[in-house]
Amino acid sequence: MTDDDGVYRRDVLKASGAAAALGLGGGEFFQTLVESGDGTGPSNRDSGIESYVGQNEVIQTVCSPNCRGKCPIDVHVRDGQVKKVEPHPPEDEQYKRACVLGLSHTQRVYDPTRLKYPMKRTDWSPDEPNPDGRGPDAAFERVSWDEALDLVADKMQSLKADFGPESVLFHVGFGNYGQSGTAFSRLASLFGSTQPASTIDTNVGRGFNRVTGTGFYLPSTNEAEDWENANTIIVWGSDLFSSQFQMDASEVLDAVENGAKLVVVDPVYTTTASKADLWLPVKPGKDVHLALAMMHTVFEDGTYDEQFLRQRTTGPALVRKDTGDLLKSSTVFDDGSDDQVVAVEQGSNTAVELEPETDGPYALFGEFTVDGIECETALTRLRDHVADYAPSEVAEQTGVDAENIRTAVRWLATRGPGGIAPSYALGRYKHGHIFGQTYAMLMGLTGDYGRHGNIHAHHSGGATLSTGGWSTPEDADPGPSVRFSDYPDAMIDGDPHKVRAVYSIESNMMGNQFPDRQRFREAIKSLEMFVVADMHHTDTVQHADIIFPVPHWFEQEDIVSSWGSHPHISYRHKVQEPMWEARDDYYAIRGLAERLGFGDYFPETKRELLRELASRDDAIDFETLSEQGTQKKQNIPIVKFTDAFPTDTGRIKMYDDDAPSEEGVTFDLPRPLEDRTADDYEKADEYPLMFMQKHSRFRIHSQYEMLNWVREVNPEPQLDIHPSDAKARGIEDGEYVRVYNDRGEMIVKAKYNEAFQPGLVNTDQGWWSRDYIAGHHNDLTHNEVSEVGQTMAFYDVRVEVEPAPDDVDTDKYEADNPRGAGADAPRAGGD
């Protein structure tokens, strides 16, 4: 802080300031100063504000949590310290973005929750695991990396010898979009361990897949740059301006600015709803009814896209009245195939095979007899099916005004290209896959596939590095998969086989992201070894036996897939060396591989690994990627669904004769099926309130929970509750409440909020145990999944709320600490 001549500027200015201040209080002094101010005030460059602009070293890297962003960012370093983060425009600079979380890494990188050293639970040993020592009171001791890796490898080997390699589960979450997971899966495949099968957020996509042949998580949709071409955007169950699409909010806003109609279907008046032309306040669980009413309107108005239906759907396909099966080409024609279906030509009533992507004068509606077989078209079946769902009929049930239902779908059907952007929230109801099926068919009716301006999900597909099967070597003998939701059964009951040890990376699931938390904690207690690698001391880490400290993203070199985001691959350059003894996941994976006898399968350094993986993707050049920091994958289509659909017929299925069924309901056509949202659910009286855990702009799952800047805005978990529900229970605004059901409880502060539908309460997800006065939101959620959807139904939950007991200790939020619960010091930081 010196001027060129070495005089401390601050002291000089202070002296003059003091002199000027001498006259303070003099009657004429104010005026004198004010009048002379303009003439004698400091110049622009002599303000006493010391600027460091231009003094920073700027390193381009990428923020890469499991959110939609994967935002390329610039990290400013000065005096050996990260000073700030700014967005960096990637190769295609219209994808420049960042959010409040990514901009706050400056704090995350130095947060006290960072893990510093490899640790071992004090009372754990390979032969005497002392499982009861796990949990909130567990104590840890520092060990060397070699010691930690030896312990883990030896235990894995002995379990493999005694119980087979599948007794070890290699669990990987989605918390780090680099390539560690690829190496992790490779080791798992070589070892033969059990590997995870995701049952989170796969519901809507599975339903969509039954219709279109694509989708697992959400279906792919046109890349963000194309959204501005939409004329109607129906955002369904998504607060996309707060979550997932936030970084690309500008694209939707541009569409609206261009004249697009924005419709929001949500039981909550969200930020996104506040921007909408029309908001449909649907009741939880009634989304399928609502979508069927929209189909009804399209049929009634005759606004379906005839040409699209003929060319790209099975709408004209004939359904046999005797069996309910589609009439197959092989039944009608000697040289017909078993896959292809049959339509009749309008007028001549001649049967013809329906080729993919082929237009023709096919009859869309009607009953026909072909070779003596009585049939009707698939579209006829669908039209008759939705006849029962007139908007006026479902208005009361769905909670949505009938005319508004019609208006929304009329905009979609008649205003040119558009689409429906659902979120994962619909899939967080048990039978959410039915919504996926329904809206996929609705957009088939309106012809909204394959065009600019079409939208099918609330985030786009982005780009993923193709690693060409590197995670499964040809000579490996991979073990079985177990669904997330089946983990407790496998660990506790040995069903389908006993899991005795878990090695977990990139995941805070066992402590936070999985539902029915107490059941998962019980499952952890049945393990002989629980190894957790993480950046931070999460709830999951607190339950570990061995802790591998992983560096912050800024301390790991990696290649980042922009899954669900933008069409680039990004290079995560190191900003600084790992602090303390934190080491990249690859260090541990390779260290274990060497000890387990698979060392030769893994390149010696991370850089070599990245070169090897990049070489397998023809659209990526390692040097270009590394130098530019981002490389746009030119083979990523901006507009999706332009070719034949990957279904048997190459067409969208408007009727599914091979549909699965559950609970006595078959999904040949979209048929509503509800679990806890059903009006006659058996415990509806006992637990009258539906409970959701909305994604907020303040956390990505449980990541970023610790950011102090963000916690100043959003300090503690709250229960959003409509004032009428609160008052009926004697709950004051801002009072602590106990939220409970037959699985557990949590104690949080009530927040009166008119945005929430009466009967629906919410606590934003992502809070850790330490943030609650008691319990956790996932003590209330359950682990029941539908057989067809196979997705954890976090929002399909009922609770009751009452004022918290008088004796709860709420000190952590009342100790004049603007940052709330950050107060609880982490236990296993290592110092």
Partner 1 sequence: MTNYGLVIDQERCIGCQACAVSCKQENNVPMGQFWNRVLTEGGDKIDTPSGGYPEDGGSGSLDMEYQPTACQHCENAPCVKVCPVNATYTRDDGIVEIDYDKCIGCRYCMAACPYNARVFNWDEPEQMPEEGTGDVAARPQGVVEKCTFCSHRVDEGLDPACVVNCPADARIFGDLDDEGSTVSKYINEYETDQLLEDRGTDPKTHYISGEMSPGRPQTSDKMESELDDVSPWSDGTEDVPSEAGGSDSSGSGGSHHSIEGDADPHVPAVGSGGDD
Shortest distance (Å) from residue 93 CB to partner 1: 4
Residue 481 interacting with partner 1 (CB under 8 A): no
Scanning residues 219 to 238, which ones bind partner 1 (CB under 8 A)? 219-221, 228-229, 231
Residue 783 to residue 485: CA distance in whole angstroms: 6
CB nearer to partner 1: pick between 365 and 470? 470
Shortest distance (Å) from residue 449 CB to partner 1: 10
Sign of CA dihedral 596, 600, 602, 607: positive
Shortest distance (Å) from residue 141 CB to partner 1: 28
What one-character DSSP code corresponds to residue 710? H
Residue 518 to residue 295: CA distance in whole angstroms: 42
Scanning residues 618 to 637, which ones bind partner 1 (CB under 8 A)? 635-637
Shortest distance (Å) from residue 509 CB to partner 1: 18
The pair of structure tokens assigned to 799 is 């609770």
Residue 697 interacting with partner 1 (CB under 8 A): yes
- Closest C-alpha to 683, from 518, 802, 800, 515: 800
> According to DSSP H, which parts of 467-506 are helical?
487-488
Torsion angle in degrees (nearest 10) through CA of 157, 159, 164, 166:
-100
Longest dimension (CA), the chain: 109
Residue 334 to residue 802: CA distance in whole angstroms: 70
- Closest C-alpha to 460, from 283, 230, 136: 230
Q: Which stretch binds partner 1 (CB under 8 A): 451-459, 523-531, 653-661, 785-793?
A: 451-459
- Closest C-alpha to 421, from 639, 206, 204: 204
Shortest distance (Å) from residue 464 CB to partner 1: 6
Residue 27 interacting with partner 1 (CB under 8 A): no
Q: Which stretch binds partner 1 (CB under 8 A): 370-378, 523-531, 578-586, 706-714?
A: 706-714
CB nearer to partner 1: pick between 607 and 616? 616
Terminal Cα distance for the chain, rounded: 34
Scanning residues 43 to 62, which ones bind partner 1 (CB under 8 A)? 43-45, 47-56
Residue 409 interacting with partner 1 (CB under 8 A): no
- Closest C-alpha to 393, from 407, 380, 405, 379: 405
CB nearer to partner 1: pick between 258 and 518? 258
Residue 8 interacting with partner 1 (CB under 8 A): no
Q: Which stretch binds partner 1 (CB under 8 A): 82-90, 482-490, 675-683, 786-794?
A: 82-90
Residue 395 interacting with partner 1 (CB under 8 A): yes
Residue 97 interacting with partner 1 (CB under 8 A): yes
CB nearer to partner 1: pick between 249 and 659? 249
Q: Starting at the edge strand that comes first in sequence, how are the strands of the sheet with 318-320 ordered?
A: 318-320, 373-377, 367-370
Residue 825 interacting with partner 1 (CB under 8 A): no
Single out the residue of 77, 96, 497, 648 in contact with partner 1 (rule: CB under 8 A): 96
The pair of structure tokens assigned to 459 is 């985030």
The pair of structure tokens assigned to 262 is 């924005």
Residue 366 to residue 524: CA distance in whole angstroms: 58
Q: Which stretch binds partner 1 (CB under 8 A): 189-197, 270-278, 581-589, 653-661?
A: 270-278
CB nearer to partner 1: pick between 156 and 262? 262
The pair of structure tokens assigned to 389 is 């769902």
Scanning residues 737 to 766, which ones bind partner 1 (CB under 8 A)? 751-758
Scanning residues 173 to 202, which ones bind partner 1 (CB under 8 A)? none
Q: Which stretch binds partner 1 (CB under 8 A): 136-144, 339-347, 393-401, 533-541?
A: 393-401
Residue 703 to residue 53: CA distance in whole angstroms: 31
Residue 664 interacting with partner 1 (CB under 8 A): no
* Phi, psi of 821, rounded to the nearest 5 degrees: -70, -5
Shortest distance (Å) from residue 17 CB to partner 1: 4
Residue 648 to residue 209: CA distance in whole angstroms: 12
Single out the residue of 126, 336, 416, 603 in contact with partner 1 (rule: CB under 8 A): 416
Single out the residue of 3, 57, 93, 367 in contact with partner 1 (rule: CB under 8 A): 93
- Rounded CA Rg of the chain: 30
Shortest distance (Å) from residue 488 CB to partner 1: 25
Residue 727 interacting with partner 1 (CB under 8 A): no
Residue 351 to residue 687: CA distance in whole angstroms: 56
Distances (CA, A) of 510 to 176, 519, 547: 16, 10, 14
SS3 79: coil
Residue 29 interacting with partner 1 (CB under 8 A): yes
Confirm if 477 and 650 have CB atoms less than 8 A apart: no
- Closest C-alpha to 377, from 313, 428, 420: 313
Residue 248 interacting with partner 1 (CB under 8 A): yes
Single out the residue of 708, 735, 784, 813 in contact with partner 1 (rule: CB under 8 A): 708
Residue 269 to residue 276: CA distance in whole angstroms: 10
CB nearer to partner 1: pick between 138 and 394? 394
The pair of structure tokens assigned to 302 is 């005759």
Single out the residue of 374, 643, 663, 811 in contact with partner 1 (rule: CB under 8 A): 643
Shortest distance (Å) from residue 24 CB to partner 1: 6
Residue 582 interacting with partner 1 (CB under 8 A): no
Q: Which stretch binds partner 1 (CB under 8 A): 119-127, 247-255, 655-663, 782-790?
A: 247-255
